[in-house]
């Protein structure tokens, strides 16, 4: 494919020791040569080497620079790529970018480098989406999921399933083309077998969707409880526990504003956190109806009680408001004399976890974190080779594919003519293809890539 040459700053904007201006396209080396002066021109440098020299504006030295030259096709975009490493701050990186633009490069749109990698066939769409998730990953586990996707783990699974469907279609073709060849029975069994295999595998993938989505998007969490029970303390201890919350890795130009807390790899998105901090009482501040709504929409509710006080009617009302929701009950202040009836608390909890803590003494927080983690991640999340589906677009397509393969199965069972069954099978094949960007509409591609950060 033919593209113009694009350029952008590909390191985080802000105070970094090194800034990188990246160029990609047929003219990348030629344009860079116009603003570079070293021992010899860049056009004479071997591919995949780094040279030292100056970035020049006419006869004026602008910057001292290390320049990497990577010629197509073994590059991220599969085009010629030049990366100019400047050590100056933002100002000098910007100057270098401006010079590149002045000499014929075009400013890259957000995500355009990754888009080219996709359009030039180096990565598929699910891998490109993985790149975006990687940039935005909120915990190390979320990063692993994204990385697996970038490495093509999901793509491989999808390819296997599509291959199985293709073989099925092929065997149906044989049957249609040579009806005298009495393969009817064989075909029926084979179809059912393949369709079962595909459905099972789609189910497995969908089985990871819940966890995958939580890892990708975080779990919306609300902390509730009467004034003074320890809500702010709980929030603080969850925040303090936290080993780096990954919100901004190199290459990101946008900050994630929402507040995430990393609990054993589960990103909790604390809803209404500011509210807890400021007014202490959500009900008073936003009204009963509205707060019920907030609770209903939460994926996890941490209900805090006071160990040193008897259960009040307010506590009972809170339990009523969170009936049938995902709740962990925290009985806090175990360091003071017990006044609460724990049996009654367990009754009200209706089988949902009850954890006792003394936040002031930092006791019980481990148990609480385990309870949170095991509520959402039964089994072993660490196991490195699981394929997670985390992206809503992928999940929706898998669900559709599941329903078309089920249609195919019941058609086979009902003895529907085989060329009609073929339609459902082909449709399943297409739906799975959309996950990896096969036959997706151009406008969807534009929309997906526009969500990227600049310089990626």
Interface residues toward Zn ion, by CB under 5 A: 232
CB atoms within 10 A of CB 414: 8
Residue 212 interacting entry, from ligand GDP, Zn ion, none, C-beta within 5 to 8 Å by type: none
The distance of closest approach from Cβ of residue 232 to ligand GDP in the complex, given in angstroms and rounded to an integer, is 3
Is 122 one of the annotated binding-site residues?
Answer: yes
Residues numbered 279 to 308 that lie near ligand GDP (CB under 6 A) are 280
Is residue 335 a contact residue for ligand GDP (CB under 6 A)?
yes
Is 207 one of the annotated binding-site residues?
Answer: no
The distance of closest approach from Cβ of residue 329 to ligand GDP in the complex, given in angstroms and rounded to an integer, is 14
What CA–CA distance (Å, rounded) separates 276 from 224? Answer: 9
The distance of closest approach from Cβ of residue 227 to Zn ion in the complex, given in angstroms and rounded to an integer, is 8
The distance of closest approach from Cβ of residue 225 to Zn ion in the complex, given in angstroms and rounded to an integer, is 10
For 322-342, b/e burial (b = at least 16 CB within 10 A) is: beebebbbbbbbbeeeeebee
Beta bridge partners of 259: none
Is residue 336 a contact residue for ligand GDP (CB under 6 A)?
yes
Q: Which two tokens stand for residue 309?
A: 């006080």
Is 233 one of the annotated binding-site residues?
Answer: yes
Q: Which two tokens stand for residue 83?
A: 């990366």
Residue 332 interacting entry, from Zn ion, ligand GDP, none, C-beta within 5 to 8 Å by type: ligand GDP
Is 251 one of the annotated binding-site residues?
Answer: yes
Sheet holding 36-38, edge to edge: 36-38, 49-57, 60-70, 81-86, 19-24, 6-9, 106-107
Q: What number of helices (H) and strands (E) belong to the chain? A: 18, 13
Is residue 227 a contact residue for ligand GDP (CB under 6 A)?
yes
Beta bridge partners of 223: 302
Is residue 127 a contact residue for ligand GDP (CB under 6 A)?
no
Residue 93 interacting entry, from ligand GDP, Zn ion, none, C-beta within 5 to 8 Å by type: none
What CA–CA distance (Å, rounded) separates 155 from 435? Answer: 8
Query: Is the separation of the CB atoms in 215 and 146 below 8 Å?
Result: no
168 alpha-carbon distance from chain centroid: 33
Q: Which residue is nearest to Zn ion (CB)?
A: 232
Is residue 229 a contact residue for ligand GDP (CB under 6 A)?
yes
Which of 25, 53, 230, 265 lies at the binding interface for ligand GDP (CB under 6 A)? 230
What CA–CA distance (Å, rounded) separates 424 from 99? Answer: 55
The distance of closest approach from Cβ of residue 157 to ligand GDP in the complex, given in angstroms and rounded to an integer, is 46
Residues annotated in a binding site for (6S)-5-formyl-5,6,7,8-tetrahydrofolate: 22, 83, 122, 456
Binding residues for ligand GDP, per CB under 6 A?
A: 225, 227-233, 280, 332-333, 335-336, 358-360
């Amino acid at each position: 494919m033919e593209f113009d040459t694009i350029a952008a700053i590909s390191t985080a904007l802000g105070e970094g020791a090194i800034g990188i201006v990246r160029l990609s396209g047929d003219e990348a080396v030629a344009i860079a040569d116009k603003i570079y002066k070293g021992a010899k021109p860049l056009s004479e440098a071997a591919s995949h080497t780094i040279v030292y020299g100056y970035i020049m504006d006419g006869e004026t030295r602008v910057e001292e620079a290390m320049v990497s030259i990577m010629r197509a096709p073994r590059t991220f975009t599969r085009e010629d790529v030049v990366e100019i490493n400047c050590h100056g701050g933002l100002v000098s990186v910007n100057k270098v970018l401006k010079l590149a633009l002045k000499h014929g490069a075009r400013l890259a749109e957000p995500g355009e480098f990754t888009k080219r990698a996709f359009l030039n066939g180096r990565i598929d769409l699910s891998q490109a989406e993985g790149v975006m998730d990687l940039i935005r990953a909120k915990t190390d586990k979320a990063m692993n999921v994204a990385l697996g996707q970038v490495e093509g783990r999901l793509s491989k699974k999808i390819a296997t399933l599509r291959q199985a469907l293709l073989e099925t279609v092929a065997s149906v073709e044989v049957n249609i083309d040579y009806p005298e060849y009495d393969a009817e029975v064989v075909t029926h069994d084979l179809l059912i077998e393949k369709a079962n295999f595909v459905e099972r595998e789609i189910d497995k993938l969908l089985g990871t969707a819940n966890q995958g989505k939580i890892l990708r998007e975080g779990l919306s969490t609300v902390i509730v409880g009467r004034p003074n029970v320890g809500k702010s303390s709980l929030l603080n201890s969850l925040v303090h526990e936290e080993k780096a919350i990954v919100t901004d890795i190199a290459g990101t130009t946008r900050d994630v504003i929402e507040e995430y807390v990393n609990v054993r790899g589960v990103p909790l998105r604390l809803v209404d956190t500011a509210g807890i901090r400021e007014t202490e009482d959500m009900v008073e501040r936003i009204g009963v109806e509205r707060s019920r709504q907030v609770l209903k929409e939460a994926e996890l509710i941490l209900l805090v009680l006071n160990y040193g006080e008897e259960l009040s009617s307010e506590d009972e009302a809170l339990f009523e408001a969170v009936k049938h929701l995902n709740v962990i009950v925290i009985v806090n202040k175990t360091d003071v004399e017990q006044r609460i009836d724990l049996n009654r608390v367990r009754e009200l909890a209706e089988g949902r976890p009850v954890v006792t803590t003394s936040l002031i003494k930092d006791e019980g927080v481990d148990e609480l974190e385990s309870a949170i983690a095991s509520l959402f991640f039964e089994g072993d999340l660490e196991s490195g080779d699981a394929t997670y589906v985390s992206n809503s677009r992928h999940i929706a397509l898998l669900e559709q594919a599941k329903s078309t393969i089920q249609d195919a199965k019941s058609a086979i069972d009902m003895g529907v003519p085989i060329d009609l069954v073929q339609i459902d099978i082909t449709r399943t094949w297409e739906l799975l293809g959309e996950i990896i960007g096969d036959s997706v509409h151009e406008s969807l591609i534009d929309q997906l890539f526009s969500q990227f950060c600049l310089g990626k």
